[in-house]
Structure 1
Amino acid sequence: MTICGCVSAANLRWQSTMIENHTLKSAPRCGFLTGSERTNALAFGGCESTGHSLRIPCAHSNISRTRKGVSPLQVVCMDFPRPELENTVNFLEAAYLSSSFRTSPRPTKPLKVVIAGAGLAGLSTAKYLADAGHKPVLLEARDVLGGKVAAWKDDDGDWYETGLHIFFGAYPNVQNLFGELGINDRLQWKEHSMIFAMPSKPGEFSRFDFPEVLPAPLNGIWAILKNNEMLTWPEKIKFAIGLLPAMLGGQSYVEAQDGFTVKDWMRKQGIPDRVTDEVFIAMSKALNFINPDELSMQCILIALNRFLQEKHGSKMAFLDGNPPERLCLPIVDHIQSLGGEVRLNSRIQNIELNHDGTVKSFLLTNGNVIEGDAYVFATPAGDYTKQKYLASMEGAVLSGKFCAQAIVQDYELLIAGGQRRLAPASVS
């Protein structure tokens, strides 16, 4: 959908026909429903549907008054169509991995798998184990689901999230998850543009527009070449030269860049810090919630590679509400419908071990003891999925799939291990 910022109400003597015609020509966009020659309008400090500031010279542009004969202001926002993701190689691979859990042989004795952490990784692990016929027990220390996508409601009913959560077209496992849960309609897609605030010019924005008529990577190259506000031509050339080894060297070169932060890598290419601070700080925050002088350049190169390879990879969608309710709860409902459990306010106090060093049980702060056939810690401990895949939400969901896959594949071994531990107890 189109998203507009810095909005304030204004009463202007505009002809309603002018606004209506503008709305019709630029649909789908945010439009105005008008009913009077003196029309309520909006003043946009920056608008993602137009990409530039619309300044209205009115001394009272920040004041909204209801006047006689003037109809109330209504803003109509339309979502952009969902892109065609289903035929991409990465989406098909993710769909196949998902289907492997649903089609795997049903276990004669389902495993009870205890999972600590109800972020997207823990929720995904539990979801796919349940799909495979096992009985996950998901424990969350806090009273809210989501981990890094958690959100809280204040006394006024407003939601506060733990950051900006963007659902890219280049997130095949996340996109599959939405489809599997039947909640694709909860993603609101925006036009294929990346819009950056310009710190050096407060209140102004700069666009990278990806033409729909061009395939990847031409659409991405066009978007970069057409933008002369964030990147000068010398900076574009230096950046392109720096990317050549990544395109020619492939995965081995990308992995070798793990020792460089984003800022260090940019300096190595002779690109000024201004570009890092104005362009790549946004990517760094979106991918791993950290600054460019802390994030590995490997993560940026993986993202750029995916964006350039897939036509809709950099297309963005936003959730139509808070993540705990609109994304996490459907996963919980799915898990519980298949016999799994999800418990909030279940903080682990101690991990009890068997004589062989394996986990025997989790002791919770409320005094409950939770035993299982296998145990998983779905908590932050380094992002090993960044070697081939995007970090953030995609990495969390994929980590959950890999974990569930390993447990399903080791089913016989886990059952046998449990029986061996039970045997001495039965003899005594």
Structure 2
Amino acid sequence: MSGLPGRDRRAVLHRAGGGTPQVAEPRSAIVIGGGIAGLAAASALSRRGVAVRLLESDDRLGGRVAAWPLGDGRTMSRGFHAFFRQYYNLRALLRTADPDLARLIPVEDYPLQRPDGMRDSFASIPRTPPWSVLGFVVKSPTFTLPSLAAVNVPAALELLRVGFPGTYSRYEGESAAAFLDRLRFPLDARDLALEVFARSFFADPEDFAAGELVAMFHTYFLGSAEGLLFDVPDDDYDTALWAPLAERLRADGVEILTSTPVSSIRLDERRAAVLSDGGAFEADAVVLATDPRSARSLVAGIDSSDLSGWRERVARTRNAAPFTVVRLWFDGQVSPERVAFLGTSGYGPLDNVSVLERFEAGAARWSAQAGGSVIELHGYASPAEVMSDDAAAARVVADLEAQLARVYPETAGMKVLHREVQIRDDCSVIGPTGWDERPGVETPSGRLVLAGDWVRCDYPVALMERAATTGFLAANSLLARWGAAGQDVWTVPMRGLLGPRR
């Protein structure tokens, strides 16, 4: 079958509303935020002839997937991101600058490891459900006949009976941890395959929605034939992704202003206005595509009776726990068999280890010149005090490095030539309650739409893909009002193998 975004024949096309190929009269929009959501909205709007001005508070694009130079040929970022093949809409955005996705390269495997030596792999598991599930159970050392006998079968079948959007709200009040307890999966399987993935949403399973966890299993494993392997950029994010995309957007007429934080938004019946360090800007509409904390601050300051009640819903959204990224440049190289990306469980705060010279061109050049390795450590849910207590932050960093010596013992005898640390708390968390009250793309004002991975979306999408999808949907909302055609989006199947038929 031609025209599919990947290999899954059950992928679902969600067509945008019809309309003219270009807006019929001059229209303008301000996009606040230069992360994935804002870039997607700017791309979709500009291709329909809308005059777009994109304002980004940082000095570069990419948001939480940004990268920046350190001045000596090395680069830094906010941590590893996996570009799964289910990310149809993110890939559509990247194709606007890289039609063949030549800058994405496959990671052949990403084992999940525990200190007792138990390891799971996804490399040789079939990609198509239900064979993917059966293959994982057969090949994984975490599943034994006694442990499988203890599984709560009705709860396990819930993973195959999903149907969207209802699944998100069906688990109202239940945390991911509570669902895992109810599921009664073998403890080893829970550690290796479940909690590792839940924490990749930058949240402790106790503070993460069961509906999101169930949706995640459908999207990445049980409901999609794309498989669990993923791609990564062949160089740092800015070089491989965002600089080429910015060039494409500018060619389409988008005005990109970085280092331009926005202080307030004003809405009235005729226009929208934005105040920033770069001055005052007016447009027909605003796409608010910032991180959740910035969005809450800007929404709270909008003086509009139309937003009464809705503003409180935005205020109730929350940020996830802090995360810690440590990048180390060693004077020696790790063993050749070390994989590009390793997930871990049971190693204190350490959630994964990346060997950057295995896939990033810049890191590979440094490795060849210096004879060393570039290793990145990521802790997804750090203690809250790391944001205000330097000593607490230093303890987490030291623990991460100590755990690396357990995972890759050869690093214990190496010297760290350079160390870069990033500790941030600007990711979103989808908690166990309040999904139905979470703000969606559209708002009570016809001049304001939202986009981002914190925004409610009825499709089975998450993380970077939710950001890209809501960015396109935000643009579509405005284009529909202006009589122009929108951007079609794709998703994995909207129901599980045993899910309700529409």
Aligned to 1:395: 466
Match of 1:317 among 212, 219, 231: 231
Shift of the alpha carbon at 1:344? 0.1
Q: For 1:72-83, what aligned pairs fall within 5 Å after superposition? A: none
Deviation for aligned residue 1:240: 5.4
> What letter is aligned with 2:8?
T
Pick from 253, 258, 278: which aligns with 1:344? 258
Which residue does the alignment assign to 2:289? 378
2:6 maps to which of 69, 83, 86: 86
1:273 Cα deviation (Å)? 5.9
Matches of 2:124 and 2:244, distance apart in 1: 33
Instruction: Provide Cα deviations, 1:123-170, integer angstroms capped at 9, x if missing partner.
Output: 000000011111111000011211111123324332222222101111
The C-alpha deviation readout for 1:235-286, integer Å capped at 9, x for no partner, is: 4451654220232353434531243222121112234665444432331243
| 2-structure distance, mates of 1:86, 1:241 | 32
Match of 2:101 in 1: 184
Q: 1:175 to 1:207 in 2, by over 3 A?
A: same
Match of 1:300 in 2: 213
Kindly provide the amino acid, as one letter, of the partner of residue 327 in structure 1: L
User: How far does the alpha carbon of each residue in 1:44-102 deviate from its partner, in whole angstroms, 9 at most, with x for none?
Assistant: xxxxxxxxxxxxxxxxxxxxxxxxxxxxxxxxxxxxxxxx95353565626x65xx79x
2:407 corresponding residue in structure 1: none
Question: Relative to structure 1, is the Cα distance of residues 273 and 104 closer, same or farther in structure 2, using a 3 angstrom cutoff?
Answer: farther
Letter in 1 for 2:470: S
Amino acid at match of 2:291: P
CA-to-aligned-CA distance 1:191-232 (integer Å, 9 cap, x gap): 3x451021444xx743234445x742213321232101x344
Local SS of the residue matching 1:141: coil
Q: Which amino acid aligns with 1:126?
A: A
Provide the rounded CA distance (Å) in 1 between the counterparts of 2:27 and 2:41: 13
1:274–1:113 distance in 2 versus 1, CA, 3 Å? same
CA change 1:147–1:125 in 2 (3 A) is same
Question: 1:111 and 1:339 mapped to 2: Cα distance?
Answer: 13
Structure 2 gaps, min length 5? 293-316, 318-453, 485-502
Match status 1:159 vs 2:230:
no
Any conservation in 2 of the 1:137–1:340 contact (CA below 8 Å)? yes
TM-score, normalised on structure 2?
Answer: 0.57
**Corresponding residue of 1:247:** 160
TM normalised by structure 1 equals 0.66
Aligned twin of 1:139: 55
Q: Residues 409 and 271 (structure 1 numbering): CA distance in 2 closer, same or farther, change over 3 Å?
A: same
1:23 paired residue number: none
Counterparts in 2 of 1:221 and 1:239: CA distance versus 1, 3 Å: farther
- Find the aligned partners of 2:256 and 2:146 in 1 and give their Cα distance: 54
| Structure-to-structure mapping, 1:273-284, within 5 angstroms | 275-284=189-198
2:24 corresponds in structure 1 to 108
Cα distance in 1 for residues equivalent to 2:88 and 2:267: 38
Rate the CA distance shift 1:158–1:291 in 2: closer, same or farther, 3 A.
farther
TM-aligned CA distance change 1:113 to 1:388, over 3 Å: same
Amino acid at match of 1:114: I
The question of whether the paired residues in 2 share the 8 Å contact of 1:361 and 1:369 is answered with: yes
What corresponds to 2:387 in structure 1? none
Judge conservation of contact 1:143–1:345 (CA < 8 Å) in 2: yes
Superposed displacement of residue 375, structure 1: 0.8
Which residue type is aligned with residue 340 of structure 1? V
Residue 176 of structure 2 contacts residue 205 of structure 2 at CA under 8 Å; is this kept in 1? yes
Among residues 277, 286, 289, which one is paired with 1:365 in the alignment? 277
Name the counterpart of 1:33: none
Contact 2:6 2:226 in 1 (8 A): no
Point out the structure with max Rg over C-alpha: 1
Deviation at 1:346? Answer: 0.6
CA shift for structure 1 position 331: 2.3
SS at match of 2:475: helix
User: Is 1:385–1:398's contact at 8 Å kept on the other side of the alignment?
Assistant: no
Q: Which has the higher contact order (CA 8 A, sep 6+)?
A: 2
Distance 2:10 2:78 in 1: 28
Q: Deviations over 1:401-422 (max 9, x none)?
A: 1000000001169xxxxxxxxx
SS of 1:208 mapped into structure 2: coil
Counterpart selection for 1:406 from 477, 482, 501: 477
Displacement, 1:373? 0.9
Contact 1:217 1:310 in 2 (8 A): no
CA distance in 2, matches of 1:273, 1:88: 31
- In 1, Cα distance between the equivalents of 2:258 and 2:93? 22
Whichever residue aligns with residue 88 of structure 1, its letter is: D
Q: Considering only aligned residues, what root-mean-square deviation do their CA atoms show, in Å? A: 2.9
**Structure 1 unaligned blocks of 5 or more:** 1-83, 414-428
- What secondary structure sits across from 2:76 in the alignment? strand
- Contact 1:127/1:331 (<8 A) preserved: no
Per mean C-alpha deviation after superposition, the further-off stretch among 392-401 and 247-256 is 247-256
Which amino acid in structure 1 is aligned with residue 13 of structure 2? E
Give the Å deviation of 1:233.
Answer: 4.0
Q: What is the one-letter code of the residue matched to 2:262?
A: I
